[in-house]
Amino acid sequence: MFRKKTVPNSKDELTNEHKIPGFDNISSIFKGKSTALKNELIVENSLIEESLNISDTNIAKPSTNKAVQLIQEVQKREDRTIKPFVDYNEGLLFYPILSKIGESQDNVTCLDDLVSDGILEKKVYEKLIVCPIHPDTFSASMRLYCPKCHSMSVEKLNLFEHKKCGYITESTNFDFADHENSNCPSCKKPIKNFEKEIRVPAMWYQCDDCSEKFDNAVIKLHCRKHEHDFDTNSGQFVTTFSYKLKNSEISINSDTNQIKDELLKLLEGFNFNAKLNVSIKGKSGNVHEIPIYGKSTTSDESILIFIKNQSDGIDQSDMNSILVPKLDINPTNTLLVTVSGVNDGVENLAVHYGIHLISEPDFSKILSRVEEFVSDWYSKNGGKK
């Protein structure tokens, strides 16, 4: 993309500029606090804070933080949950998502740190029963044995009753291989719905080797790697955990700082004097908080960019909060960008009031569409790419 140098110190309508202070740790990003500050500050959307005299070189870049990158990856998942992967033979537990941020897949500490910070919620995912002699392997299977001869050649039998004619027999006498053409052995009538037409009054086991019939088989767990059985009562438990974003609405806004920085650079490349998180006085005299405001250095044209992300989608109330400053400030263009879904009626409302709506599942696509929009606008006004 063609870039032009911006003109420094250009006057605009900005009445106040909010700086974003550096964050000491990942917890401060989501809880809206910074331990470097002496007084507690109220943070809106984890980004806008009270004006502080801190140089730009001291502003932290949360997007480069591995913890933030991890949360960005979790946000892409429908259930917002990090689930484990178990290697049953080797007795290893992995979290594959960690490899996407350059961490070892078995580094559970970084996940537990986010639990301590109140970002993730730790839940029991599965209880595994492992061999008491070889607890280093998770590979165990259940085996059924005949209580008389200890053979594993055990079959499960059911007693079936055809409700329509009252015929009762063992399940081996019913052939349900073809569900569409099954018939009762007694009345010969077709059985089309097994659950409605057949009742199961009893169940037992039979040993194929000694023909013994019994109600309860002997149950053993088998250590598959070391080829031996162990009693279910002697088995040890291994607990695996999943990690879920504790507050989806806060977490979905966690990476808006990154998109703001990228949009700022994009506007500056098209000769806009762009500012983040500013207060602008409208025609009514009221002051409005604007996430991104850009003023052309070569004309009177201006742009407002709003960033809204909601776990339940963008609705008309979100649009109404944009309409007020848009109508009062009357910029040349107004953009609403979001990674959230858009509820019914929102697109028509945006078109009616001249708001350019961009909804994409990830910020890279949003940046591409904003660049396309601004580039087209810039070209129509005499700019060259």
Residues 6+ apart with CB under 8 A from 174: 160, 182, 185, 198
Residues in the chain: 385
- What is the sign, positive or negative, of the torsion defined by CA atoms of 367, 290, 339, 120? positive
Task: Please state, in angstroms and rounded to a whole number, the distance separating the CA atoms of residues 275 and 292.
Answer: 6
Domains of the chain: 14-61+250-380 (3.40.1350.10), 147-216 (no CATH)
**pLDDT tens series, the chain, 385 aa:** 333 334 344 434 433 333 333 333 333 333 333 333 333 333 333 332 333 232 333 333 333 357 777 877 887 888 889 999 988 877 788 999 999 888 999 999 888 888 876 678 899 999 888 899 988 888 888 999 999 999 999 998 888 999 999 998 888 777 766 666 788 888 988 888 888 888 988 899 999 999 999 999 999 999 988 899 999 888 888 899 999 987 544 444 445 667 888 899 999 999 999 998 888 998 888 888 898 999 999 899 999 999 887 767 888 888 888 888 999 899 999 999 988 888 888 999 899 889 999 998 878 889 999 999 999 988 887 654 4
Q: Which residue has the tokens 């994009």?
A: 266
Q: Do 288 and 328 meet the contact criterion of CB atoms below 8 Å apart?
A: yes
CA 28 to each of CA 31, 120, 374, 377: distance values in angstroms, whole numbers, following the listed order: 5, 14, 34, 38
CA distances from 179 to 156, 159, 198 (A): 20, 18, 13
- Best CA proximity match to 356, nearest among 318, 306, 317, 291: 306
Question: Considering only CA atoms, which of 305, 315, 289, 276 is closest in space to residue 370?
Answer: 305
Q: CA 283, CA 345: separation in Å to the nearest integer? A: 28
